[in-house]
Structure 1
Amino acid sequence: MQADPTPERSSRVLTPEPEPEPGSESVLDPEQDARVALAEFAALHGPALRASGVPERYWGRLLHKLEHEVFDAGEMFGIMQVEEAEEESEDEAAQEARKKPNPGGELCYKVIVTNENGLQAADPNSIFLIDHAWTCRVTHARQQLQQVPGLLHRMANLMGVEFHGELPSAEAVDLVLEEMWKFNQTYQLAHGTAEEKVPVWYIMDEFGSRIQHADVPSFATAPFFYAPQQVAYTLLWPLRDLDTGEEVTRDFAYGEADPLIRRCVLLPWAPTDLLDLSSSTPEPPAEHYQAILEENKEKLPLAVSPAGYPCDHVFKVYTDIQQVLSHLTHPRFTFTQSEADADVLYNFSHFKDYRRLSQERPNVLLNQFPCENLLTVKDCLASIARRAGGPEGPAWLPRTFNLRTELPQFISYFQQRERRGEDNHWICKPWNLARSLDTHITKNLHSIVRHRESSPKVVSKYIESPVLFLREDVGRVKFDIRYILLLRSVKPLRLFVYDVFWLRFSNRPFALNDLDDYEKHFTVMNYDPEAVLKQVHYNEFIPEFEKQYPEFPWKSVQAEIFQAFKELFQVACARPPPLGLCDYPSSRAVYAVDLMLKWDSRPDGKRAMQPQILEVNFNPDCERACRYHPSFFNDIFSTLFLDEPDGCPVTRLL
Structure 2
Amino acid sequence: MSAFEAFVTVHQYQLAAIPEDLWLPLFMKLGEDYLDAGNYVELHYGDPLDGYSLHAKGDQALKKHSEIFLVDHAWTTQPDNAHKELLENPKLLERLENLMDIEADEFEEEESEEEELEHDDEAVKTVASQANVSYDKAKEALEAEKYEIVNAIMRLTMDEDFKKESERLQDQVLGQLIASGKAQEKEDKVKQEKEERRKERHAAWLKERVDNVCDKMWSYLQTYSYSVLKQDGQPETQTAWYINDEVGSALCHSSDPNTMCVPFIFSRGASGMIPYTVMFPIKDIASGEVMTCDLVPKNLERPLDKAAYLLAFENRILPGQEGGTQDEIKKLSKEFRDKLDKQTYQPSVGLPKTNCSNELKQRGSDKPILVYTTTEFVRRNLSNSNFKLTDDRSQADIIWSSQDFTEWDSLKSGQLVNQFRYENCLTYKQQLADLIQKTYGSPAWVLPTYNLNTQLAEFVGDYLNNDGDKEDEQKHYENLWVSKPWNFARGIEISVSRNLSKLIRQHDSPTPKISQRYLVKPCLYNNKKFDLRYIVMLTADGTVNVYKMFWIRLANKKYNIDDLDDYEAQFTVMNYSNFPMTQLDYKSFIHNMEKQHSITWKSVQDSINNAIRDVLLAAASEEQPLGLVDKNTSQSYESFGMYGVDVMLDNEYRPIIVEVNFSPDCTRACEYDPQFVNNVFGATFGDQKGLEAFNVL
Q: Normalising to structure 2: TM-score of the pair?
A: 0.72
**1:208 CA drift (Å):** 1.2
Partner of 2:522: 466
Rounded Cα–Cα distance in structure 2 between residues aligned with 1:247 and 1:494: 65
Aligned-pair distance for 1:83? 5.4
| 2:653 match: secondary structure | strand
1:173-206 CA-to-partner distances (Å, cap 9, x unmatched) read 332232222112234556689xx97864322221
Secondary structure at the aligned position of 1:133 is classed as: strand
Aligned to 2:219: 182
> Which SS does the other structure have where 2:291 is aligned?
strand
Match of 2:131 in 1: none
State the Cα distance separating 1:241 from its structure 2 match.
4.5
Indicate yes or no: 2:667 matched with 1:623.
Answer: yes
Deviates more, 1:360-369 or 1:136-145: 136-145
Deviation of the 1:329 alpha carbon: 3.7
The residue that corresponds to 2:641 in the other structure is 589
Structure 2 match to 1:173: 210
- How big is the shift at 1:142? 2.7
3-state SS in 2 of match to 1:452: helix
User: Deviations along 1:513-543, whole A, 9 cap, x unmatched?
Assistant: 22222222111112222x1222222233222
* Alpha carbons 2:446, 2:656 under 8 Å: kept: yes
SS of alignment partner, residue 638 of structure 2: coil
Distance in structure 2 (CA, Å) of the matches to 1:629 and 1:56: 68
Matched letter for residue 678 of structure 2: N
Partner of 1:604: none
The verdict on how the C-alpha distance between 1:342 and 1:40 changes in structure 2, with shifts beyond 3 A counting, is: farther
1:74 aligns with 2:117: no
C-alpha contact (below 8 Å) 2:683/2:690 kept by paired residues: no
Shift of 1:548: 1.8
Q: Which amino acid aligns with 2:484?
A: K
2:248 aligns to what? Answer: 208
Report how far residue 463 of structure 1 moved.
Answer: 0.5
What is the one-letter code of the residue matched to 1:373?
A: N
In the TM superposition, what is the alpha-carbon distance from 1:303 to its structure 2 partner?
8.2
Residue 89 (structure 1) aligns with = none
How big is each residue's C-alpha offset from its partner over 1:343-366, in whole Å with a ceiling of 9 and x where there is no partner? 332223323464x34xx6232211
1:113-512 equivalences in 2 (<5 Å)? 113-114=56-57, 118-122=61-65, 126-165=67-106, 167=202, 168-187=205-224, 200-226=240-266, 228=269, 229-255=272-298, 256-268=300-312, 269=314, 272-273=326-327, 274-279=329-334, 280-281=336-337, 282=339, 306=356, 308-309=359-360, 310-312=363-365, 313-352=367-406, 354=408, 356-357=409-410, 361-386=412-437, 389-390=440-441, 393-418=442-467, 421=472, 422=475, 423-454=478-509, 455-470=511-526, 476-489=527-540, 492-512=541-561
Q: Supply the distance in 2 between the matched residues of 1:243 and 1:83 (Cα, whole angstroms).
A: 16
Query: Against the structure 1 CA distance between its residues 39 and 188, is the aligned structure 2 distance closer, same or farther, given a 3 Å change threshold?
Result: closer
Aligned partners of 1:66 and 1:314: how far apart in 2? 71
- One-letter code aligned to 2:51: C
Structure-1 separation of matches of 2:15 and 2:378: 45
Determine if contact 2:72/2:276 at 8 Å carries over to the other structure.
Answer: yes
Measured after TM superposition, the shift of residue 77 of structure 1 is 2.8
Counterpart-to-counterpart distance in 2, 1:153 and 1:563: 55
Secondary structure class of the residue paired with 1:633: helix
Equivalent position SS for 1:579? coil
Distance change in 2, residues 1:62/1:514 (3 Å): farther
1:577 pairs with 612, 619, 624, which one? 624
Contact (CA 8 Å) 2:621, 2:629: kept in 1 or not? no
1:109 aligns with 2:52: yes
Shift of the 637–108 alpha-carbon distance from structure 1 to 2, 3 Å rule, reads same
Partner Cα separation in structure 2 for residue 245 and residue 41 of structure 1: 37
Deviation of 1:37 (Å): 2.6
Contact preservation (8 Å) 1:41, 1:63? no
Greater Rg by CA: 2
The letter for the 2-side match of 1:651 is F
Matches of 1:561 and 1:222, distance apart in 2: 50
Gaps of 5+ in 2: 108-201, 231-235, 315-321, 342-349
* Number of residue-to-residue matches in the alignment: 555
1:154-184 CA-partner distances (Å, limit 9, x unpaired): 2221111111236544433332232222112
How far apart are residue 39 of structure 1 and its match? 5.4
1:621-650: per-residue Cα shift (whole Å, max 9, x none)?
22322343343333322322x432524663
Give the Cα–Cα distance (whole angstroms) in 1 for the partners of residues 530 and 77 of structure 2.
29
Q: What residue in structure 1 maps to residue 173 of structure 2?
A: none
CA contact (8 A) 2:532 2:647 kept: yes
Partner SS state of residue 539, structure 2: strand
Q: Which amino acid aligns with 1:113?
A: A
Q: In 2, distance between residues paired with 1:589 and 1:619?
A: 8
Change (3 A) 1:275 1:67: same
Cα pair distance change 1:272/1:192, threshold 3 Å: farther
Q: Which amino acid aligns with 2:661?
A: N
Partner deviation per Cα, 1:294-339 (whole Å, 9 max, x = no partner): xxxxxx9998654533234433333333333333343343444443
Contact 2:57 2:287 in 1 (8 A): yes
In the other structure, the counterpart of 2:693 is 650
Cα pair distance change 1:629/1:305, threshold 3 Å: closer
Provide the secondary structure at the position in 2 that maps to 1:155: helix
CA distance in 2, matches of 1:238, 1:643: 71
Q: Secondary structure at the match of 1:150?
A: helix
Alpha-carbon distance between aligned partners in 1 of 2:375 and 2:690, rounded to the nearest angstrom = 25
In the alignment, which residue of structure 1 is the partner of 2:584? Answer: 536
Question: Please, what is the CA RMSD of the aligned residues?
Answer: 3.2
Aligned to 2:278, what secondary structure does the other structure show? strand
Contact 2:19 2:65 in 1 (8 A): no
Distance in 2, Cα, partners of 1:447 & 1:460: 14
Any conservation in 2 of the 1:388–1:567 contact (CA below 8 Å)?
A: no
Larger deviation, residues 108-117 vs 533-542: 108-117
Which residue among 606, 627, 631 is the counterpart of 1:559? 606
Aligned residues with identical type, % of pairs: 34
Does the C-alpha gap of structure 1 residues 261 and 497 become closer, same or farther in structure 2, counting only changes over 3 Å?
Answer: same
Tell me the distance in 2 between the aligned counterparts of 1:351 and 1:221. Answer: 44
1:486-531, Cα deviation, whole Å (9 max, x unpaired): 1112xx32111122211212222212222222222111112222x1
**SS of aligned partner of 2:308:** helix
Which deviates more, 317-326 or 205-214?
317-326
Contact persistence 1:283–1:383 (CA under 8 A): no
On the 8 A contact 1:198/1:437 being kept in 2, the answer is no
Report the secondary structure of 1:221's partner residue. Answer: strand
